[in-house]
Amino acid sequence: MIPAAPVLLRRCSLVIWCALWGLASCHELDPYLDRCRRIRPDRYVVVLPHERVRSPAVQRFVARKEGEGFRVELLTFTPSRDRDRCARELRPRLAALRPPPGRHAYVLFVATHRELPMGPWQLDGGSEAVRSDVPYLLDGAPSPLPTRVWRRAFEPGFPWVLGRVPYSSESVLDKALNSGTRLARPRGTPLVLVGGERFAVWWDTSLVMSSARARFVEAGWRTVSYANDWPCDVELGLDAPDSIHAAHGVATARANRRRGDGVPPLAIPMALLDRVKDPEAKLFLTHWQYLAPDVVYLNSHGTSASVGSYLLPIDSWLRRGRDGRSRTPPERPAVLVNIACSGGVPNSPLLLYLFAHDFICAAVGSTVATAPLPLGAAIRAEVDVASLIAAELPLGVGLRAARESYFADARTSLWYWVIPSMAATVGQNLLGMTLYGDPSLQMPYLQRGDR
What is the distance between the alpha carbons of residues 43 and 75, in angstroms, rounded to a whole number? 13
Angle ∠(396,397,399) on CA atoms, nearest 5: 65
Strand 312-313 and strand 234-235: the pairing is unpaired
What is the distance between the alpha carbons of residues 444 and 188, in angstroms, rounded to a whole number? 11
pLDDT at 368: 94
Cis-peptide, bond into residue 444, ω within 30° of zero: no
Residue range 381-391, pLDDT digits in tens: 999 999 999 99
Burial string for 36-69 (b: 16+ CB within 10 Å, else e) reads beebebebbbbbbbeebeebebbeebbebbeeee
Give 18: exposed, middle or buried? Use CB within 10 Å, 0-12, 13-18, 19+. exposed
Strand 306-307 and strand 234-235: the pairing is unpaired
Residue range 100-141, pLDDT digits in tens: 999 999 999 999 999 999 999 999 999 889 999 999 999 878
Q: For residues 152 and 449, is the Cβ–Cβ distance under 8 A?
A: no
Residues 6+ apart with CB under 8 A from 338: 298, 299, 300, 302, 307, 344, 363, 364, 365, 366
Nearest to 108 by CA among 152, 65, 79, 68: 65
Residue type, 261: D
CA dihedral in degrees (164, 168, 172, 174; nearest 10)? 80
pLDDT at 89: 95
Residue range 53-104, pLDDT digits in tens: 999 999 999 999 999 999 999 999 999 999 999 999 999 999 999 999 999 9
pTM above 0.75, yes or no: yes
**pLDDT-based confidence at 242, cuts 50/70/90?**
confident
pLDDT at 322: 46
Q: For residues 106 and 45, is the Cβ–Cβ distance under 8 A?
A: yes
Ranges of beta strands (E only) in 359-408 are 360-366
Please state whether 406 falls in left (phi above 0), alpha (psi between -120 and 50) or beta: alpha
pLDDT at 449: 44
52 DSSP 8-state letter:
G
Q: For residues 379 and 372, is the Cβ–Cβ distance under 8 A?
A: yes
**pLDDT-based confidence at 185, cuts 50/70/90?**
low
Would you say residue 332 has pLDDT above 70?
yes
Nearest to 185 by CA among 286, 257, 259: 259
Would you say residue 319 has pLDDT above 80?
no
Residues 6+ apart with CB under 8 A from 407: 151, 154, 155, 426, 430
What is the distance between the alpha carbons of residues 84 and 155, in angstroms, rounded to a whole number? 25
Residue range 9-29, pLDDT digits in tens: 454 455 445 545 554 456 789
What is the distance between the alpha carbons of residues 142 and 6, in angstroms, rounded to a whole number? 53
Angle ∠(402,191,57) on CA atoms, nearest 5: 75
Min mean pLDDT across 251-260, 333-342, 365-374 is at 251-260
The overall average pLDDT reported for the chain is 87
pLDDT at 16: 46
Residue range 293-318, pLDDT digits in tens: 999 999 998 888 889 888 988 666 55
In this structure, how many other beta carbons lie within 10 angstroms of the beta carbon of residue 1? 8
Average pLDDT (166-183) is 89
Portion of the chain with pLDDT greater than 90, in percent: 66
In this structure, how many other beta carbons lie within 10 angstroms of the beta carbon of residue 219? 19
Longest dimension (CA), the chain: 65
Would you say residue 275 has pLDDT above 50?
yes
Domains of the chain: 37-181 (3.40.50.10390), 185-450 (3.40.50.1460)
